Amino acid sequence: MTIKRNVLLNPGPATTTDTVKLAQVVPDICPREKDFAGLMKGLRRDIVRIVHGDERYTSVLFCGSGTLNMDVCLNSLLPEGKKILVANNGAYSSRAVEICEAYGLPHINLKMPVEQPVDVDAVEKTLVDNPDIAVVYTTHHETGSGVLNPIREIGAAAHRHGCTFIVDTTSTYAMRPINIIEDNVDFLMASAQKGLQSMTGLSFVVGREDLIRASAAFPKRSYYCNLFLQYDYFEKTGEMHFTPPVQTVYATIQALKEYFSEGETAKWARHTRVFEAIHKGLADLGFRNLIKREYQSGLVVSVCYPDDPNWNFEKVHDYCYERGFTIYPGKVGSAKTFRLCALGQIDAPDIVEFFKVFKNAIDSFGIQVRYDS
């Protein structure tokens, strides 16, 4: 079987290998069989291993997209009468604030500029002024802008004030190396279709088992999306409480094999090659970045629209899409940007091929890459 290969330069789902795609084609199985529970056990362990967690850490799997984990962590880990502090410098932390609002969770939305990393001193000051904060939440890599946040320092501040530190690592997990212990993280989360290069439908939280157990006493604000309830079911039965995404579990087991055989360092080096190739291609054509290079995650580039009326993102997108390359709109406030991302099973030569197509699009639509200011 040959499957057309598309190069996805959007921020996930990412380009996958054929071996991961084909791993989904398995005999029908009821996920309540012991054989299936056995697969989930290894999967849970490997998911913790990627972020170098020791026996104090566990992973809890859910059926759903990445946002589900944000919902789970926020609604499950807040004790009665306490507050969440969201260190917010982008679209994904703003989504966390919306989740707090939807549940009516007491929270402080510490809004900061979207074009630079979270200011750790501002986080510390807010913690000093508000001793009722029990949870600090942030996003490791704001995928909308490409800004990377200093989680180790934010986590240290959270811990100095006795708070639990939750980080959304959906767009760094299994790409940028993370050490959950050294990075001062209590809970992190991701989904299978981004860094792991697997399929959509499986997401997971990795975190401190003692804190999950302690959360059994916190208010239950959701039935399906409660961290302790799902954990407890796994501990008792080895299974997800409700129907798991069976085929995605098989794909993810294959993706993990491929992750460990490539290796953390080599994989990050490959993403870095792709990122550098994206920067080179953009610079050759005269495009500008929105975010300062030293603030970037190494995975997403936010590119400013050129000041030429012939520029039309949709037309350029369609031209590239028809030729097997997917580019993606931006998500940084009102700034006019699009994104090129270094996720997935791609390498520098794919980016060289992409820029041939992209340049043809620019030329055929008569676009001048210039900036008036």
Ligand X SMILES: *Cc1c(COP(=O)(O)O)cnc(C)c1O
- Binding residues vs ligand X (CB under 6 A): 11-12, 65-67, 92, 139, 143, 168, 170-171, 191
Q: How far is the CB of 142 from ligand X (least distance, A)?
A: 7
What is the rounded distance in angstroms from the CA atom of residue 29 to the CA atom of residue 81?
45
Among all chains, which residue has been given the structure tokens 């926020």? 74
Helix, strand, or coil (residue 99): helix
Q: How many CA atoms lie within 13 A of 53 on its CB side?
A: 24
Q: What is the C-alpha to C-alpha distance for residues 330 and 141, in angstroms, rounded to an integer?
A: 15
User: And the tokens for 267?
Assistant: 């994989």
> Looking at 232-336, which runs of residues are DSSP E strands?
300-304, 325-326, 328-329
State the minimum distance, in angstroms, from the CB of residue 273 to ligand X: 21
Instruction: Write out the E strands in the chain.
Output: 7-8, 57-63, 83-88, 107-111, 133-139, 141-142, 147-148, 164-168, 187-191, 202-208, 300-304, 325-326, 328-329, 337-341
Q: Answer for the pair 96, 72: CB distance below 8 angstroms, yes or no.
A: no
Name the CA radius of gyration of the chain, rounded.
21
Structure tokens at 289: 């970045």
Q: How far apart are CA 145 and CA 337, in angstroms?
A: 9
Confirm if 49 and 180 have CB atoms less than 8 A apart. Answer: no
Give me the half-sphere count of Cα atoms (radius 13 Å) on the Cβ side of residue 7.
22
Q: Which is nearer to ligand X, 67 or 248 (CB)?
A: 67
Torsion of CA 226, 227, 230, 234, to 10 degrees: -170
Between residues 50 and 361, which has the closer beta carbon with respect to ligand X? 50
Q: Which residues contact 335 (CB under 8 A, 6 or more apart)?
A: 290, 302, 304
Helix (H, G, I), strand (E, B) or coil at 368: coil
Q: Which residue is nearest to ligand X (CB)?
A: 66
Going by C-alpha positions, the residue among 372, 356, 362 that lies closest to residue 311 is 362
Shortest separation between residue 323's beta carbon and ligand X, angstroms: 25
CA distance linking residue 304 with residue 339, whole number of Å: 9
